[in-house]
Structure 1
Amino acid sequence: MTERAVHETRSVPSPGCPPPHPAPRVPSLPLPPDSCDAHCHVLGPAAVFPYAPDRTFTPYDAPKEQLRALHAHLGIRRAVIVQSSCHGRDHAALLDALGSDTGRLRGVALIGETTTREEIEELHRAGVRAFRLNFLPHLRTPPTRDEIDSVLERVDGLDWAVQLHVRGEEIAALEGLVRALPGRAVVDHIGRVDLATGRDGPALRSLRALLDTGRVWVKASGVDRISRQGPPYADAVTLAASLVAYAPERVVWGTDYPHVNIVGEAPDDGLLVDLVERIAPDPAHLRRLMVDNPAELFDFPPTH
């Protein structure tokens, strides 16, 4: 097979990477001004920003223009764009997106032992305020403690948060490591906990214990990923609401757009916005979830 044929074959979206929802509904929930989608992605376009050769999945393109249009449709002003593993450590698409909308966007990087301090400082100037550690084996080999320490040395002095992508049962095993991290940490997608273990399983006990430290946050994103019931994801929404009630000052929310590596069709992002009212029924908690908490965690300008 020729090199060109190999490239064309690998450009086909992978199973488990559906296109975004074709027509998300207009949310009925009016969000507070400066509300933030604290977990979303920019992917490609591959013709401009090629995907990493060693990626484990190939998504549909979801360029910055598409994300901006979605946020306008949903009534969201701010966003935190998380570098996807399909782009590896090439942050060109992320930097392009951040540079197109200064002040409204922040970023989360994927860096490693070969990332230079100069590259990290460029990312910081662009608006990156965290780096992500993937512990899911379908994305990469989980980082060792030496690798984590090396990255921490490279970001020293920048006050970046550590974003942890873990799967349920791993939270308890990693609790000691998370407690030992300097500064702030944030757990993606409600820790991708297994709701079959119940509200008092080891993963959720560890997650609540980490929230008790005052330095660990959690993202109430990915309710569609962990629900065992399907839309409107009542079981996962109930769990997210319990965490907001438990630690209202350390929970943020995100769409997870464009929803890669999922089973079935992509969720309706308009529905996900409307579910925020159930996740944070108290208006004060809603403002914290959507505005104040992400502003503090990701260094957005103060809001009034």
Structure 2
Amino acid sequence: MTDAAQSSSTAAPLPSPGCPPPHPSPRRPNWVLPANACDTHSHVFGPAAIFPYAADRTFTPVDVPRDEVLARQRFLGFQRSVIIQSSCYGLDHTVLLDALRSDPEHLRGAAIVTGATTTAELDELDRAGVRGARLHFMPHLGEALTPIEQRAVIDAVHARNWHVEIHVQGDGIVEHESRLAALEGRVVIDHLARVDLRQGLDSPAVRSVRRLLDLGHVWLKLSAVDRVSLTGPPYPDAVELARLFAQHAPERVLWGTDFPHPNIEGDAPDDGLLVDLVPQIAPTPAARQLLLVDNPAEVFDFACTVRETGRSGH
């Protein structure tokens, strides 16, 4: 094979529309995050030459490898982070395991699990720091599991005291509310449930989220204000929504960058701006301590917490 042919065969695939590169020069946040602040939602992509994307993926991201993701989080002031397995990797968790094993003290993960996932695979994921499994109900990410398959995954996940992570949009949270309410294990809802702000701040979806937060076993990520906003930066409408949820259930909210922002419209947001919106969402130091430190430590099993099984944080 010639050098040119070899270079072509290992080049990163062209990204899909809606998968821009990260913001090239985010501003440094103008406030100091509390010690052990956690970014609870980020993804690692590539490099594709080492960690190839699934052949049946529904989108192709820009390569943003582990070290670039972690460097961005450190620049923003986060000491802990949670890496979410992306659907573009399917059930191949090699890239996630590589990331988690690079810093077991400060990194946790959420996997994609199906009925075909073996006990040995779950054991390996657990040892590496996975503490949740994501179920998506988003057409652009592929076909959702059937109700029977979902039940099997939920049972397997909760048996390990992991949480189930739910990704819905629009009125999806209303559709799934009764089933989520009936679960006994932890549930985490991604991205403000991606409610439709055209319906206002007292829509059926917003009320559904508030009822779920009242149950005690459901948490909400106040991430992706840029996805939910109808107005654009600095996203005042979505910040108001996030603040509403943070005030309603301060012990049941989490925060994440969503870096490097796959499947969006337009350019990637300024991650420094997103961090600077946190004091508007959680105005007091006590509220920010819960949002960024205490709540993530409980949900993702970081040090100085004790899970319900009695297993100490790693």
1:146 corresponds to: 148
User: d(CA) in 1 for partners of 2:10 and 2:18?
Assistant: 19
1:62 corresponds to: 64
* Native 8 Å contact 2:157 2:163 kept in 1: no
2:310 corresponds to: none
Match of 1:176 among 175, 178, 186: 178
Match of 1:80 among 79, 82, 101: 82
Q: 2:16 aligns to what SS in structure 1? A: coil
Superimposed CA distance per residue, residues 173-225 of structure 1 (whole angstroms, 9 cap, x where no aligned partner) = 11111112231101000000110100111100111010111111100000000
1:200 corresponds to: 202
TM-score by length of 1: 0.95
CA pair 171-181 structure 1, distance change in 2 beyond 3 A: same
User: d(CA) in 2 for partners of 1:10 and 1:41?
Assistant: 17
User: d(CA) in 1 for partners of 2:147 and 2:199?
Assistant: 28
Aligned length: 299
2:280 corresponds to: 278
Q: 1:138 aligns to what SS in structure 2? A: helix
Query: Offset of 1:228 from its aligned partner?
Result: 0.6
CA pair 65-196 structure 1, distance change in 2 beyond 3 A: same
Query: Offset of 1:10 from its aligned partner?
Result: 8.8
Q: Aligned pair 1:39/2:37, yes or no?
A: no
Q: 1:107 aligns to what SS in structure 2? A: strand
User: d(CA) in 2 for partners of 1:154 and 1:252?
Assistant: 24
* Native 8 Å contact 2:79 2:106 kept in 1: yes
User: d(CA) in 2 for partners of 1:53 and 1:149?
Assistant: 27
CA pair 92-28 structure 1, distance change in 2 beyond 3 A: same
* Native 8 Å contact 2:222 2:242 kept in 1: yes
Percent identity, aligned pairs only? 56
2:103 corresponds to: 101
Superimposed CA distance per residue, residues 230-285 of structure 1 (whole angstroms, 9 cap, x where no aligned partner) = 11001100110110000000000000000000000000001111110101002111
Amino acid at match of 1:130: G
Gaps (5+ residues) in structure 2? Answer: 1-5, 306-314
User: d(CA) in 2 for partners of 1:9 and 1:81?
Assistant: 24
* Native 8 Å contact 2:213 2:252 kept in 1: yes
Q: How does 1:108-257 map to 2 (within 5 A)?
A: 108-257=110-259
Query: Offset of 1:91 from its aligned partner?
Result: 0.3
User: d(CA) in 2 for partners of 1:221 and 1:93?
Assistant: 23
User: d(CA) in 2 for partners of 1:251 and 1:153?
Assistant: 24
* Native 8 Å contact 2:10 2:49 kept in 1: no
User: d(CA) in 2 for partners of 1:115 and 1:50?
Assistant: 20
User: d(CA) in 2 for partners of 1:157 and 1:190?
Assistant: 26
Gaps (5+ residues) in structure 1? Answer: none
* Native 8 Å contact 1:227 1:236 kept in 2: yes
1:292 corresponds to: 294
